[in-house]
Chains A and B, each alone.
Chain A
C-alpha cells in the first residue's frame, strides 16, 4: 500500500516537472486575460419610438478597452438599445457604419463565471435583416418592463460572446442602460443610454476559453 502511494507521488511529480518544462520550451508566453468594467458608455440615438432612427454609433475596441472613432479598428458599437458587431453587412439604418472586420456574436445563457468556452458554431454576423445581437425587448440583451416602470433592464443570464474584428474573443455582460448604473433606476429620472458592462477579453489568438 505504502509502496504504491510513493510510486504514484513520484509519477505525478515527474509528469508535473516534464510538462512544465515542455510548456516553457514550445509556447510563447500568453498575454494575461483580464476582467474589466466600462462605466457610462454614452450611445445616443435620434428618432425611435416609431420614427426612423439615426445618429452615429459609439464604437468600442476590446484590445484597447476604449471608445474609438476608427472606421476599421472597432469590435462592437452601440446606439440606443442596438448593439452591432464589426462583421457582416449593415441593416441599412441611417448613419450605420460599414462592417470592415470579421466580427460576429452570439448570446449565451449563463453567468460571466459559467460561460468559459466559445462555441464557434454559434457565431452569426450582422445582416440586412437582423443584427447578430437581436434587437427588441426580450430578443437580445434587454427586457423592457412596460408600464408602469417603463424600465429597460439587461436580461439576467444573457452573456454576449463576441468575435472581435481581428478574430479574438470576448464575453460581455451588460449591467445597466442608465447613467452611473444606479442600484434602483428610474426610467423617468435617470439618463439613457449609458451602457455599463463587464467584459473579459481573450487577447491571444486561437484561444477559445476565458
Chain B
C-alpha cells in the first residue's frame, strides 16, 4: 500500500497523466441493466464513465438522435436540448446559451481539443457539420478544473465517428428549401491494427432575406466544405498512435449595400496527433499534440467607383501539446493528471501588434467511491499566463445513490474565461460614425496618439487606470440535482443551478472625442448571476413510442442593476415622449436575450414492420429583451420585448433494401419568423435526403 502511495506522489510530482480505458470495469460496476448504462461519456472526467453514474449534470446526444431528426449543422441539434438556446450573433453566426450564460462562456471541443475562431466572442455552430459525429457530450457547470479557459458555463464535446471492422461507408445527398444542399460521404476501414477513415461534406445555400431591403439579404449565399480524416495504428495491444486532421473552408457573399459588395472567407484547419500507451493494467499515458488555425478575411468594394472600401482579416493560431496519465488504483478509484502548454497568436486588422499568449497548465483529478454508494470527484487545474493573472480552478462533485432508482448529486466548480485578444489589443475607429474602441492594453498608446491628433475633448478615465492587468472573468457554479428512475421505462432529472460571475468584462466610455463621439474600452465591472432549474424526462411509453421533454426556469441578473432598482435610481417612461417615473425592484427583468421559460417536447415513433421511424418535436422560449428600448440602460418591464414563440419540426425516415434510407421532413412547420428581432430563423424548411450505406 505504501509503495502504491509513493508511486502516486512521484508520478504526480512529475505531473504525468493518463487516458483511462476502464470501460469494462465501469460498466460491470452497476448491475441494474438499463439501456442507458451503455451510454458512456468521456468529457466529464476525461476517462470513460457511464453517463448514468456521474455526479455532474451531463447529457449525450447519440448518432441515432442526429439521424432521427436529420440534423445538418451542430446548431440544429443543440437547439432542441433542454436549457440550450441558440443565439444569433451580429456577424450572422449562431452560438449557444447554456444555463443562461452567454455563448462566449461555453467551450466547444472536437474529440477533446478546442475549436478556435471567436472573432466577436461567439463560436459559430454552423461551422460544424454533424455528418461524421458519433455522439455529442454536454457538461453543464464550470469545468475549468479539467479544461481551463472558456469552460466557464460548460463544455460541449463533439466525438467523431471511428471506423468499424472491414470497409464501410455511406453517401448522403440532401436538398432543402432556400436552395440549400448538403452532400456528405464517409468511408472507413479497420483491421486489428490499423484504422483509417475519411469524410467529405459540402454544404451550400442561397441564403434568405427576412427584411424588405432588396439589395442585401439576412443571410447571404454561401458554400462550404469540410474534409476530415483519421488514422490510428496499434503497434501492440498497449501502444496506439493516432492522427486526425480537419479542414473547413467557406466562401460567402458579403453585401453591405447596393454599391458596397464583397466577399467573406473562412479557412480553418486542425491536426491532432496522439500516442497512447498502457504501461500495465493500472498505468496509462497519452501524449498529444494539437495545432489549429482559423483565418477569416472579408472585403467590400465600392462598385460605383471600383475602389476598395474595406478590407479586414483575422488570423488565429493555436498550438497545444499535452501529456496525460491515469492511474487506476482500484476498480473504483482512479487518478488522472495532465500537463500542457497553450501557445496562441492573432494577426488582425485593427491590432497594432501581433500578440502572443503563452499558457502552461497542469491538472489533477481524483474519481472514486469512498463509500459504496458515494461517488466523489475532486479536481483542480492551474493555468499560468503571460498576459493575465494565473488561475486556479478547483472542482468538487458528489453523487449519492440512495437506491438504484434514486440518486442525489451536487457539484461546485470554478470557471474562468480569459480576456480575449480583442478585449486586450483592439484599436478600431468606426469610419462612418466616428467612435473608437480600444483594447485594454492598447489604451495608453492609442489615447496618446488621439490626443496628439487633437481628437480627445475630455478624458474621463485616466490612462493610469489601465496600468493593472485586465482580470479574467470568473465564475463559481453550483449544481444540485436528483436523478429518479421509478420504473425501467421512465426517468426524471431535476437540477438546480446557480452561476455567479465576477469581473465580467464590459465596455465603458473612457474619453469624449472632439467629434462628439466616445472612446470605449473594456473593464472588469459587473457581477452577474444566472440561476434556475432544469427538468427533463424520458418515457418509453411502448416498445415503439418514446417521449422526452424538458423545461428550464431561468433568472439571469446583474447584481449592480438589482441594487440600482432597489435604491430607486432607475426611471422609465410609459411612451418615449411621456414624463419619466421611478421604477421598483420588481420591474427589473434581467439580462438581455434571456427567456424566463424554455421548454422542449419530442415524440418518436417506430414502425418496425415498415422499417420506418418518425418524430415530431417542439421547442419553446418565452419572451425576452434584446435591447433597452426606453433609454435607461436596463431591461425593465416597460421595455419592448421579443414575444415568446414555439417551433415545431417533423421528420420521417424509411429504410429500404437494407442499404438505402429516404428521409423527409419539415422544420419550422408553421413557418414562424420574426424579421425584426430574430435573424437566425429563416422560416419553414422542407427537405428530403437519401442515404446509401455500403
Interface residues of chain A, those whose CB is within 8 Å of chain B, are: 48-53, 80-82, 91, 109-112, 114, 129-130, 134-139, 142-143, 145-146, 148-149, 151, 153-158, 173, 175-176, 178, 181-185, 196, 198
User: In the complex the two chains form, is A157's CB within 8 Å of B434's CB?
Assistant: no
User: In the complex the two chains form, is B571's CB within 8 Å of A157's CB?
Assistant: yes
User: In the complex the two chains form, is B569's CB within 8 Å of A138's CB?
Assistant: no
B515 contacts the other chain (CB 8 A): yes
**Majority secondary structure, B binding face:** loop
Tell me the smallest distance from the CB of A123 to a CB of chain B, in Å. 19
Of all chain A residues, the one with the shortest Cβ separation from B211 is A148
User: In the complex the two chains form, is B434's CB within 8 Å of A50's CB?
Assistant: yes
Most B CB within 10 A of own CB, among A81, A112, A148, A173: A148
Give A173 to B515 CA distance when docked, in angstroms. Answer: 25
B502 contacts the other chain (CB 8 A): no
User: In the complex the two chains form, is A156's CB within 8 Å of B577's CB?
Assistant: no
User: In the complex the two chains form, is A157's CB within 8 Å of B629's CB?
Assistant: no
Interface size of B by CB at 8 A reads 33
Give A53 to B627 CA distance when docked, in angstroms. Answer: 29
Tell me the smallest distance from the CB of B534 to a CB of chain A, in Å. 32
Tell me the smallest distance from the CB of B466 to a CB of chain A, in Å. 20
Tell me the smallest distance from the CB of A78 to a CB of chain B, in Å. 14
CB-defined interface of B193-224 with A at 8 Å, one 1/0 digit per residue? 00000000000000000000000000000000
B578 contacts the other chain (CB 8 A): yes
User: In the complex the two chains form, is A139's CB within 8 Å of B457's CB?
Assistant: no
Complex contacts, B434 vs chain A, CB 8 Å: 49-50
Complex contacts, B509 vs chain A, CB 8 Å: 136, 138-139
Give A179 to B509 CA distance when docked, in angstroms. Answer: 29
Of all chain A residues, the one with the shortest Cβ separation from B571 is A157
User: In the complex the two chains form, is A156's CB within 8 Å of B573's CB?
Assistant: yes
Complex contacts, A112 vs chain B, CB 8 Å: 579-580
User: In the complex the two chains form, is B516's CB within 8 Å of A136's CB?
Assistant: yes
User: In the complex the two chains form, is B518's CB within 8 Å of A136's CB?
Assistant: yes
Give A158 to B571 CA distance when docked, in angstroms. Answer: 9
Give A201 to B93 CA distance when docked, in angstroms. Answer: 53
Interface residues of chain B, those whose CB is within 8 Å of chain A, are: 431-434, 457-458, 509, 512, 515-518, 569-573, 575-582, 627-633, 676
Asked, given contacts A111-B581, A130-B457, A143-B631, whether A135 binds B516 with beta carbons under 8 Å apart, the answer is yes
Complex contacts, B628 vs chain A, CB 8 Å: 143, 145
Instruction: Show 10 residue pairs from A and B whose CB-CB distance is below 8 angstroms, ordered by the A residue.
Output: A51-B515, A53-B516, A112-B579, A129-B458, A138-B633, A156-B573, A157-B572, A175-B579, A182-B576, A198-B579
Tell me the smallest distance from the CB of B390 to a CB of chain A, in Å. 35
Tell me the smallest distance from the CB of B157 to a CB of chain A, in Å. 35
Complex contacts, A134 vs chain B, CB 8 Å: 512
Give A4 to B516 CA distance when docked, in angstroms. Answer: 68
Neighbour of A183 across the interface among B433, B517, B575, B633, CB < 8 A: B575
Asked, given contacts A130-B457, A157-B570, whether A196 binds B579 with beta carbons under 8 Å apart, the answer is no
User: In the complex the two chains form, is A50's CB within 8 Å of B432's CB?
Assistant: yes
Give A81 to B575 CA distance when docked, in angstroms. Answer: 20
Complex contacts, B570 vs chain A, CB 8 Å: 156-157
User: In the complex the two chains form, is B517's CB within 8 Å of A50's CB?
Assistant: yes
User: In the complex the two chains form, is B580's CB within 8 Å of A111's CB?
Assistant: yes
Tell me the smallest distance from the CB of A50 to a CB of chain B, in Å. 3
Give A49 to B515 CA distance when docked, in angstroms. Answer: 7
Tell me the smallest distance from the CB of A106 to a CB of chain B, in Å. 16
Neighbour of B433 across the interface among A50, A138, A181, CB < 8 A: A50
Of all chain B residues, the one with the shortest Cβ separation from A147 is B90
User: In the complex the two chains form, is B576's CB within 8 Å of A185's CB?
Assistant: yes
Give A48 to B627 CA distance when docked, in angstroms. Answer: 25
Complex contacts, A81 vs chain B, CB 8 Å: 516
User: In the complex the two chains form, is A136's CB within 8 Å of B512's CB?
Assistant: yes
Complex contacts, A143 vs chain B, CB 8 Å: 628, 631-633
Asked, given contacts A111-B582, A136-B512, whether A155 binds B632 with beta carbons under 8 Å apart, the answer is yes
